[in-house]
Amino acid sequence: MAREYKIQRKASSSVSGIDYERALNEEQYRAVTSAPGKVLVIAGAGSGKTRTLTYRVSWLLDHGEQARNILLLTFTNKAAREMVERVKSLVEGDVADLWAGTFHSICNRILRRHAEEIGFTKSFSILDRDDQKSLMKGVIAGCDIDTKERRFPKPDVLISLYSLIANTGSSLEEVLVARYPYFIEWMDELETVRVDYVRKKRATNSLDFDDMLQLTVELLKNQPQILEIYRKRFRNILVDEYQDTNAVQSELIDLLSGASNSLMAVGDDSQSIYSWRGAEVDHILNFQKRYPDSVIHTIETNYRSVPEILDLSNAAISANKMRFEKNLKSSRSEIGARPALVAVEDPISQAAFVAQRMLELRDEEGVDLTEMAVLYRAHFQSLEIQMELTRRGIPFSITSGLRFFEQAHIKDVAAFLRFVTNRKDEVSFKRMVELLPGCGPGVAEKLWRKWSNDPLSENTQPPEKWSDVFSGYPVPKKSAKHWEQFCHTLDELSPNGVLASPSEMIFSVLEGVYDDFLKETFENYEGRRADIEQLIQYGGTFDDILDFLAQLSLMSATDGEPNGRRAENDHEKVTLSSIHQAKGLEWKAVFLIWLVDGQFPNGRILEADDDASFEEERRLFYVALTRAKDQLYLSYPMMNPKSYTGDILCRPSRFLDDFPKELVEIWNVGNEWVDDDPF
């Protein structure tokens, strides 16, 4: 019989010397010093979530825990590095053995040690996005899928589709119905590609990022002895941003924590806004059901915003039914300005208000441009803002994507317009042609040579019918049907040789050939289509196509700066950001725009009439409100000009009905025309 023998580890005396009761507020102190077990910390916006986590690590070390027995899971490498550096600044001992990192980096460390157990070697490769696309192209080619009549999704789209399956545990059919209904006809082929892609990765000893999570969970579930090793190792597990965990990440936490290990999950249910990439708010809402003996601590003291902004934020989120009760209170004693509710005439007036108020804040109140941000629900809503800031010479940076006119899909559509107005534009011609299936650079070059040698290319006016000219051009069999539609679309851009209006041209390109291309090429199809629909609206303000194209070129060239100067040369820039990208950030003055039903909340969510989705939309609104430190402006246009349907009367966002009007200051904004010419 084996003899039992245990090593006696001496509990270390305090290694930090921290007086935790003085260093932390009462709420943070209770969470940091909580007893071992399963603990959920609901940390409201701006309440010191990172401080709570890092002091918890220090507390554990001070009370005899070894660094090697602590696991800290985060969602970004930046967060992991920041927390480790803070821990190092708090304690004197060596914390090199502390495991801290993203879910993916921790899983990578585990898999490197046990790769053979799941059929890989320790030298497995990790595929980045480009690697995945390259591998996927080979898989598609090997599946012999007939794409002559129908467009098959491009690798980028397939990667996102399969990733959603992996992160949500949903079936292919469920994901297609919910997110990609236009690909349901390809379901059998998509499953074939998915299976072959998995097989190919294994054959090449390669893992993508989703595999790292899934295979680690698979390893721990199927190898109890390995699971036991890590349960003994990680007696204390801490998780950051717990509200953002997906099904696989949640299962990983369950496996590692087991019944006896301590788990502290820190997050805010009111900031759960990433369901579109697999996050499930139910994980944080049902924490006590998952861990029946768990304890919940709430941290409500906010160190960011003035009381007036928090009063509005609390009232706004209270309309949600699925939430933990909490009431943010400000640590700031000064009286601030009530948030401004600003109704303006139209989107152009909204942009003018934002730009003018920014200059007033800078010149009259001394607020740096870097301390101002414009937030919006979707990237296309920033178009008028970008134009107005450029016109006024206010430098800006964009975190939500490229500048509007620099985006690939905007340039694609513009190529059609440029070619029909300038029939010698080789770049635009080739860009159009290469959008068609089977038409690569070689085909585009041959077609261009044929066209450039045609006498019609010298004409100052478009031909009466492009289809009569181009229908006989030699294109690959795969491209024949698409080429025919392409010719008809060009006919619509200049019917009977007369150029259509800019908005009519863009509409014809979108509906004629480009919508299908968007679906098969881009994972964020709906957002990109919305961009082009916004471009149609913008085009409606121009009568002349040449003026419109000139404006597009100028906006791309200036890059948000007067005189073509790059924005990067100016350190003081306003931030333009989608709310999703703004999470975790803060500014002194925040302008939240387009608070109109159909824009925010999103029209698709309103049509779905789904309570869970609508509550997430309200959480997104809450996140936007809580980014502001000193001043908050809520604006909406009362009228939205549409190119084809005329002006549309806007309904103010229903989120504005969720709080008493005395919490905001109503601003009545009118237009006063000023003559800039002193003579």
Active site residues: 49-50, 240-241, 271, 627
Among residues 376, 356, 320, 259, which one has the least CA distance to residue 635? 376
Phi then psi for residue 142, to 5 deg, are -75, -15
Tokens of 606: 């309103």
CA distance 558 to 391: 10
304-318: buried (b, 16+ CB within 10 Å) or exposed (e) per residue? bbbbbbbbbbbebbb
Relative orientation angle of helices 209-222 and 247-257, to the nearest 10 degrees: 40
CA distance 387 to 560: 8
Among residues 586, 619, 576, which one has the least CA distance to residue 600? 619
CA distance 320 to 335: 28
Among residues 626, 635, 628, 670, which one has the least CA distance to residue 656? 635
C-alpha R_g of the chain: 29
Peptide bond into 601 cis (omega under 30): yes
Among residues 345, 266, 308, which one has the least CA distance to residue 74? 266
Q: Strand, coil or helix: what is 103?
A: helix
Return the bridge partners of 543, or none.
none
DSSP for 246-298, please give it. -HHHHHHHHHHHTTTSEEEEEE-GGG---GGGT--THHHHTHHHHSTT-EEEE
Among residues 525, 549, 528, which one has the least CA distance to residue 538? 549
CA distance 318 to 233: 41
Q: Are 86 and 56 in contact (CB under 8 A)?
A: no
Give the CA count within 13 Å in the CB-facing half-sphere of 606: 12
Q: Are 581 and 399 in contact (CB under 8 A)?
A: yes
Q: Residue written as tokens 């608070």?
A: 595
CA distance 475 to 480: 6
CA distance 276 to 365: 40
CA distance 425 to 325: 61
- Angle CA 487–490–495, to nearest 5: 120
